Amino acid sequence: MIRLLFIPLFALVLFSCDDSSEKFDPLFYQISEADSARCMNEILEGILDEGQEWQIQRAIAMSKITVPICFPPEQFDIWINSNRQLMVEGDFADDLSQITPGVFNFYFINRNLKRDEIASASVDTDYPGWLSPFYSQWNIKELEDRITRINTDIEEYKTDSVDVELMEYFENEIEEIELKISFIEYAGCKSIPQVTSGANVEISYQDSSALSNEAIERVAIAFYHLRNYECLRYFNESYLNLYERLQRTKQQIDSDKIRILEILHQATIILRNREFLKRNEIFMLGIEAPPIPQKQ
């Protein structure tokens, strides 16, 4: 798995940012090759676990919330047919090399647009990123207003028989918003980016195979690079360094940083295999998702 990390494309993906005046020092902390490999494997496995949990929670929310939920069609598609042929975004691909940069660019192309640029680009079908997810920029006042609205929703959904899972969904959302507020205050920036809620990567395949396993891994690597970008931008160190230090020191501040990076680029991965398609109950009951294939 670790061999896939070193894709030259992403070595140049650090953009200038008004939110941070500090210069990133690549020698901030040197970790051993063994620790680097171990941490990267743990990070990628964690991203896949997050994607599985997101899929389940999304299904629960869709099945239990009675008000309409509109998910925009921002979806990055990967297909592997029964002949082990690969399609990425509707085009046949000779190998898996398109997946990581494709997923990264899908989520990143609109990352740094300003509000006025988003307003014009989102209605321009000729804009290159029109089919990719757009971002909202939430300031503290807007986030506090969001908490107020969620608390109103909680009161509306409360009945004599309270739905525990739904209440947990709302509580988790409030917890995330409070962390975003803390992040804005800590980073000294004006707002925090929030990607379109319906954006996701969907991987469809017949049966688990070496090809499907590696395709899923490459999607996880793309989410790693997205988080690494934000980590360099706001915290002036790599995501790998931050993760490794958290394992050693268990500092709350590092734990909060990791959590906010997970929120900024949540692993929104949907796996559709033969078993999933045969028993499509996840979107009706939200009780079980297909297992993440293991390496063969």
What is the extent of the structural domain holding 123? 31-131+199-285
Q: What total number of domains does the chain contain?
A: 1
Residue 21 lies in a domain: no
Residue 153 lies in a domain: no
Residue 243 lies in a domain: yes
Determine whether 76 is exposed, middle or buried from the number of CB atoms within 10 Å of its CB (0-12, 13-18, 19+): buried
Task: Return d(Cα 102, Cα 97) in angstroms, integer.
Answer: 9
Model pTM score: 0.78
Output the tens digit of pLDDT for each of the chain's 296 residues.
Answer: 444 444 433 433 433 344 443 444 444 445 677 778 888 999 999 998 888 888 777 776 666 655 444 444 589 999 998 788 899 998 999 999 999 999 999 999 999 998 899 999 989 999 999 999 999 889 999 999 999 999 998 888 776 667 777 788 888 889 999 999 999 998 888 999 989 878 999 999 887 888 999 999 999 999 999 999 999 999 999 999 999 999 999 999 999 999 999 999 999 998 887 655 544 444 333 334 344 444 44
- Write the Ramachandran bin of 224: left for phi over 0, alpha for psi from -120 to 50, otherwise beta: alpha
Nearest CA to 200 out of 222, 181, 185, 228 is that of 222
Q: For residue 132, what are the contacts with CB-CB under 8 A and spacing of at least 6? A: 74, 105, 106, 107, 109, 110, 199
Q: Can you give the pLDDT at residue 108? A: 96
Q: Can you give the pLDDT at residue 73? A: 59
Q: Can you give the pLDDT at residue 272? A: 85
Residue 249 lies in a domain: yes
**30-66 burial, b if ≥16 CB within 10 A, otherwise e?**
ebeeeebeebbeebbebbbebbbebbebbbbbebeee
Contact by Cβ (8 Å): 46, 223: no
Residue 258 lies in a domain: yes
Residue 257 lies in a domain: yes
Q: Can you give the pLDDT at residue 295? A: 42
Residue 267 lies in a domain: yes
Q: For residue 271, what are the contacts with CB-CB under 8 A and spacing of at least 6? A: 51, 52, 55, 202, 203, 216, 289, 290, 292
